[in-house]
Structure 1
Amino acid sequence: MRYRLKLLLIAVSTALSACAVNLPQPDAAQLVPQEPSWQAATPSAVRLAEQKAWWGAWQDPVLDTLLNAAQQANPTLEFAQARIREARAKAYSAKSYLWPTIGATATGTRSQNELVSSPSYITNNGSVGLDASWEIDLWGGIRAAEQGLLANMQAREVEWHDAQVSVAAEVANAYVALRAYQAMADIVAADLESRNRSLQLTQDKASVGLASPVDVALADASSADSVAQLAEMQEGIDSSIKALVAVTGLSEREVRAQISQGARQLPQPLGFTVTSLPAEVITQRHDIRVEAEKVKAAAADVGIAKVARLPSLSLFGAISVGRQETSSLELNGNTWSFGPTVKLPIFNAGRLKSEEEAAQARFEQAVAMYQQQVRFAVREVEQTMVKLNSSNQRVAATLRSVAGYQKQQDATNAMWKAGSASLFDLEISRRFLLTAQTKQISLQREQLALWIALYKAVGGEWPQHPVNQ
């Protein structure tokens, strides 16, 4: 009879374990962007590369070195890796609840009680036992909890990859800023040299009465203005180096040694092809994938809350071997026990139902946050493409502007030396040229920064290395 009861309990628990609660699922229409294609024009570039190999296609050894250094030791990445290990441990912990728990005990005592009898006796007691318990996952509550923790682990891994992309973008932006400041510093330095020659020539003319003190003052003020601009460019260079030191973990000496190996100019613009389907781009964004995992975790919480309102079944068993010695009396024996425990929530003043409703509300919030993030992602990509297309047009126009002002500067300088143009005319043409040149570099820097921003906006791809186990 006992064995039949045991078999019946096992059969019932096996059958009920297949009756898992249904987890909520969002509609497919809730998960995709409303627009089937991009409304902004896809940006173009002279050179295009595959998105997965974009950084290598820059063909800049200095940038490659800085990128690799930042990926090797970075607090942001180390923090993300630690969160992955924590989430993985929690997920494995949840899986363990699907199996029985077994424990062992061993006790030993030696006692004497003079209040009970006279003469008193010393008593020795000892026992060794095993006990086991197993909560049957009747409704899939444990598996739902495991699913939620696995979703959390997946979210942490996605965040790690996102951190890689963010760190790479941060290094690239600092590097681009550095090269831009260096290029502008070289232009300003060349301009300063030209202004100093003009100042010296004006002073020579003034000494023989061919130039007025006003002309000397103007030339000197022009030189001083250029000195101030050069100091500003140097400040930008030093600040960019500090930023690279912070993000790469290299010493400032190492960073300066690296950047000294490359040309003091901006990298050539490099683009990539953006797929025409927003849904494909959105699904590879890390923040969208994190929100998707949050939806899974919220659905698992709903399942856990539902299971809490249903009956639960646990099995418990124990066996013990004991021994007792008192004077000449010696006792040995075994004890064991086994049985199921059924728990049924009867009255809890609506607490469990309220918790289920709260879990359902959190699931709906997670779906809404996913939808909101999708809209933000589409907007970010669209706006970045609009800015990039505008930047491409402005760069092209500025190149024409620089070429025109350069011709004007050359002609005015020749006329001034010949005495047919004033120093004031020369300074005006020089200022126009310098303004156009610095604007050109600023726009080219902005163009590269927008490509980097678009790279991040569409999800980015950094060569993914295995996460530390």
Structure 2
Amino acid sequence: MMRTFHKPSGGSALGTVLLLIPAVLLLLPACAAVGPDYVRPEAASPAAWNTRLDEGLSPKTPDVPTLSQWWMTLEDPILCGLIDQGIARNLDIKTARARIREARAQLTAAGASLWPGVDTAGSATWSQGSENRGGGGTTELYSLGFDASWELDLFGGNRRTAEAASAELEAEEENLRDVLVTLLAEIALNYLDLRTVQARLRVTEENLTAQQETADLAQLRRQAGLTDELAVEQSRYNLESTRSQIPSLRTAIESAKNRLAVLTGSAPGELHRRLDAVEPVPAPPAEIAVGVPAETLRQRPDIRRAERSLAAQTARIGAATADLYPRLRLFGSIGLESLSAGNLFDARSLARSIGPSLSWPLFDAGAIRSNIEVQSALQEQALCQYEATVLGALEEVENALQAYQDELERKRTLARAVEAARKAVELSRIKYEAGLTDFVSVLEAERSHLGFEDQMAQSAGNVAADLVRIYKALGGGWDALASKEARGGNPS
């Protein structure tokens, strides 16, 4: 029996390739991508905090609303307003959001490489040959058509690139949350610094008034011949020493206001009217739930960002490894070509071509393998950075917990010292007026009283600031942006 083999026509060849495309689409996901598959590292954490939890600190799991809006625990409406303004207008937040849009666009571009590309082109040319070459006639050529090409991602290089872009997008989203955590803490810390310095200024001015009365008393006793010029001059330098502290405190107040303005996206000076009124330093709540280390490691966006960066770098190893293998591309074109514009859309003007192309690097002097080594070394660095971020987070929490408890104890001690110094000032003045002691005792008592009151004001601010650092270390506030949007705010 004789078999007859027919050479396929161009149309049947095109149809065969078109029928193969869906089959290739189904088979591609089954082709394993080269390079290591990412495995999320397990962050080792202790079962409990090393710092002993006293002074209102509790190992209870923080409830989500409290941790999300921890500044509400300070019950200061001005601070809450500054926080909302910072979320909406801070430039670092806007920059981080723009980086997310950039990463999202890069992911779209990386994903586009997995699909065919189609171009269209049209041309009309007129040419005249040289008569000295035996020609001299004119030629017209008109064309209109479509070109398509598609790289079959047999070894997963493009898929790994898209995987890396996806992880980078997630890393940028975590970066936005980390910027938010830092921003909210910075706004609160600068606000507390403002209130602390205002309290110190009030203490200094009150002591200045008291010392002025002492100086006046010394002057009267000098005029009455009950004391000498030395006591008068001592009272004067004590008075002026206290007065000299006021300009630096005012400078610190202005700096804190200007810093708050910048953090909330305003020009320096715009917040002065809102912040001029002296308000007390906010007091911390009676109990603070800090949870356990494992919960903190899950909450902190900087750890999640480092983990996503590690995932992206792992995928880049696969993308670099795919360069070792062949690249298979399908290409094709279909269009119209004619020597006459009037015949361009005639059926006989149809032209088409289709076929595969294969490329495989045979010699590159080790460039591809060197790039794989580079990406592997970068992955190792990303892993070290992730582990360092975890350790740094644990350290930050431990330090914040210890500082908070120690400052509370220091504040109680200073309160007792302030009360004792106040009584010492009263007794020394009574004895001085009765002539039972010299003026040095009065000066020493007043200086001690001022010093203890100043330290007390600082300590009250430090307690509230240490509370802020605890919430920041726990990763509190990273979802504040979503919470504001849910409440109808406009963060952009």
Q: Give yes or no for TM over 0.5.
A: yes
Which amino acid counterpart does residue 424 of structure 2 have in structure 1?
A: Q
Question: CA contact under 8 A between 1:62 and 1:261: conserved in structure 2?
Answer: no
Aligned pairs for 1:278-293 within 5 A: 278-293=293-308
Structure 1 residue 267 and structure 2 residue 282: aligned?
yes
Aligned pairs for 1:434-453 within 5 A: 434-453=450-469
CA distance in 2, matches of 1:359, 1:371: 18
The equivalent of 2:154 in structure 1 is 138
Q: 1:116 to 1:213 in 2, by over 3 A?
A: same
Q: Which runs of 5+ in 2 are unaligned?
A: 1-7
CA distance in 2, matches of 1:23, 1:38: 39
Q: 1:425 to 1:326 in 2, by over 3 A?
A: closer
Residue 173 of structure 1, aligned match among 166, 189, 208: 189
Q: 1:243 to 1:317 in 2, by over 3 A?
A: same
The equivalent of 2:32 in structure 1 is 20
Which amino acid counterpart does residue 378 of structure 2 have in structure 1?
A: R
Question: CA contact under 8 A between 2:57 and 2:289: conserved in structure 1?
Answer: no
The equivalent of 2:320 in structure 1 is 305
Structure 1 residue 295 and structure 2 residue 310: aligned?
yes
Identity across the alignment (%): 27
SS at match of 2:349: strand
Aligned pairs for 1:279-358 within 5 A: 279-325=294-340, 333-358=349-374
Question: CA contact under 8 A between 1:102 and 1:130: conserved in structure 2?
Answer: yes
The equivalent of 1:41 in structure 2 is 52
The equivalent of 1:424 in structure 2 is 440
The equivalent of 2:3 in structure 1 is none
Give the Å deviation of 1:394. Answer: 1.1
SS at match of 2:271: helix
CA distance in 1, matches of 2:17, 2:207: 98
The equivalent of 2:5 in structure 1 is none
Which amino acid counterpart does residue 53 of structure 2 have in structure 1?
A: T
CA distance in 2, matches of 1:371, 1:245: 36
Q: 1:24 to 1:262 in 2, by over 3 A?
A: farther
Give the Å deviation of 1:214. Answer: 1.1
CA distance in 2, matches of 1:17, 1:318: 26
Give the Å deviation of 1:242. Answer: 2.4
TM-score when scaled to structure 1? 0.90
Give the Å deviation of 1:335. Answer: 1.0
Aligned length: 465
The equivalent of 1:244 in structure 2 is 260
Give the Å deviation of 1:20. Answer: 1.9
Q: Which runs of 5+ in 1 are unaligned?
A: none
Give the Å deviation of 1:360. Answer: 2.6
Residue 61 of structure 1, aligned match among 77, 98, 114: 77
SS at match of 1:269: coil
Give the Å deviation of 1:32. Answer: 1.3
Give the Å deviation of 1:178. Answer: 1.2
The equivalent of 2:88 in structure 1 is 72
Q: 1:17 to 1:91 in 2, by over 3 A?
A: same
TM-score when scaled to structure 2? 0.86
1:222-277 deviation digits (Å, cap 9, x = unpaired):
111111122232222122222223322334443121113452x311124631112x
Question: CA contact under 8 A between 2:79 and 2:191: conserved in structure 1?
Answer: yes
Aligned pairs for 1:456-467 within 5 A: 456-462=472-478, 463-465=480-482
Aligned pairs for 1:104-253 within 5 A: 104-113=120-129, 115=131, 120-253=136-269
The equivalent of 1:408 in structure 2 is 424
**RMSD, aligned α-carbons:** 3.0
CA distance in 2, matches of 1:90, 1:118: 55
